[in-house]
Amino acid sequence: MVTADPMTIAELPDEAAFRARLRRSGRMHNGWLDLAIDLDGVSIGRIQTFVPPHRPPPPGTFTIGIHLLEDLRGKGYGREALASFTDWLFEHAAAEVVEAPTDPANVAMRTVFDRVGWVHVGSLSEFDREWVVYRITRPQWVARKAG
């Protein structure tokens, strides 16, 4: 985490809290769920739900983050992971809204959100940075699955 790309991490997590999250990995706990993105048995990244500090989401709203190893970006793995995780959250976690912030300059991630049916809904200032926010609601997800 210390050498993480600054576009993918806003601040270093507290070590004890991070270790506790790892012990719960694979199970939803208070809005947090950490999963590996697997390619033929090899972890190539991570995708998770998290609760932003100082702005807990309303019930049924999940905030997600995603990170892929740099040399595996642009091959569709992020899009597939985001689509699968979005489906899972609506189908199994009673999601009403799934949202994610990203750096405004992260064109690749913004393209992934567009391709998976998410909508750019605005921006926010957090961690001394500007972020753009993408979101998909249950009605948008249902319409996309039907179409």
What CATH topology corresponds to 15-146? Aminopeptidase (3.40.630)
- pLDDT band, residue 27 (cuts 50/70/90): confident
Distance of alpha carbon 59 from the chain centroid: 17
pLDDT category at 80 given cuts 50, 70, 90 is: very high
Mean pLDDT of 95-101: 97
User: One-letter amino acid identity for 65?
Assistant: G
Query: 39 CB contacts (<8 Å, ≥6 apart)?
Result: 72, 77
d(C-alpha 37, C-alpha 81), whole Å = 7
**Mean per-residue pLDDT for 49-55?**
87
Percent of the chain with pLDDT over 90: 62
Q: What is the mean pLDDT of residues 67-83?
A: 93
Question: pLDDT band for position 128 (50/70/90)?
Answer: confident
Split at pLDDT 50, 70, 90, the class of 3 is very low
Number of Cβ within 10 Å of residue 108's Cβ equals 13
* Residue 141: burial class (beta carbons within 10 Å; 0-12, 13-18, 19+): buried
Mean of pLDDT over the chain: 86
Give the DSSP letter string of 69-138: -GGGTTSSHHHHHHHHHHHHHHHHS--SEEEEEE-TT-HHHHHHHHHTT-EEEEEEEETTEEEEEEEEEH
pLDDT, average across residues 124-142: 93
Greater confidence (67 vs 27) lies with 67
